[in-house]
Amino acid sequence: APLPTAWLPALQLARRGSKAVTRHWKAMHFQRQKLLAVTEYLPPRPAVPPRCLPAQREHPQEEDGYARLLRRQVEQVFRSSRMVAVCQYNSMPDEDVVTMRYYLRKHNIEVKFVLNEIVRPVLAQSKYRNLLPLFVCRNILLVSPETRAREMLRVLKGIPQVNLLGACIDNTILSRQGVENFSRLPPLEASQGQTVGALALLPSQTSSLLQHGPSLLTALLDEHIRRLRGTAAPGEPPQEQGKG
């Protein structure tokens, strides 16, 4: 395109009378007044004023997709883990949080931060209704597919800011004392062995119990024979054969 040639300005400000910026209220030019009057803002008015219309009921809030996702995650957590411990979380310095997560991860325990408004409806519908009163103020969930309560208690003992409130281990709701007692239980194999031993004790005694009477009789008869042999001549055949 060719270079633009110079042009004369379309608008030329004429100084007439006072300057543009004055110390008194300067009267607007009549044309300006007319322009402003014509282009004044008029807010739209509805044909029927809203107070005459029937009261609008508040539409049900749309369910938040994010809340739904979180709820699904919580349900999944409850379904997949054998041990779920609920602890109260008081503010902790960040590095302590990371250290706690690290030590619990070593025992295969995951730390999950939960929001009460998400967890409460999930619990209310599931079978964990009795855990509902625990979810007030900030809480965290310690979930694990194994039930290593002893190590968990040991880690939590060193952290005063996290307080264990209760747990649900193997579909059994336990209080703090319950968790402590549970941790003091012997391991499953040992208790199974103990049960088997206790059950097998009685049958092992059956054979000796059954033999007790006849063996007593045998012993008495042997003693009797010995006495008779002692008084009678040796060589006499024994009266009774031993019933052994």
Where along the sequence are the contacts to other proteins (CB under 8 A)?
Answer: 88, 90-93, 130, 133-134, 136-138, 160-161, 163-166, 175-178
Q: How far is the CB of 93 from other proteins (least distance, A)?
A: 7
Q: How far is the CB of 126 from other proteins (least distance, A)?
A: 17
DSSP state of 127: S
Strand partners, 208: none
Nearer to other proteins (CB atom), residue 72 or residue 184: 184
Nearer to other proteins (CB atom), residue 133 or residue 230: 133
Structure tokens at 21: 């910026």
Contact between 42 and 34 under an 8 Å Cβ cutoff? The reply is no
Nearer to other proteins (CB atom), residue 145 or residue 158: 158
**What is the amino acid identity at position 5?**
T
Q: How far is the CB of 86 from other proteins (least distance, A)?
A: 8
Of 130, 9, 112, the closest CA to residue 70 belongs to 112
Q: What angle do CA 139, 143, 146 make, to 5 degrees?
A: 150
Q: How far is the CB of 151 from other proteins (least distance, A)?
A: 19
Q: How far is the CB of 123 from other proteins (least distance, A)?
A: 13
Strand partners, 136: none
Nearer to other proteins (CB atom), residue 122 or residue 165: 165
Nearer to other proteins (CB atom), residue 89 or residue 103: 89
Q: Burial letters for 26-46: b for 16+ Cβ neighbours within 10 Å, e otherwise? A: eeeeeeeeeeeeeeeeeeeee
DSSP state of 7: -
Nearer to other proteins (CB atom), residue 137 or residue 198: 137
d(CA 139, CA 169): 18
Q: How far is the CB of 95 from other proteins (least distance, A)?
A: 13
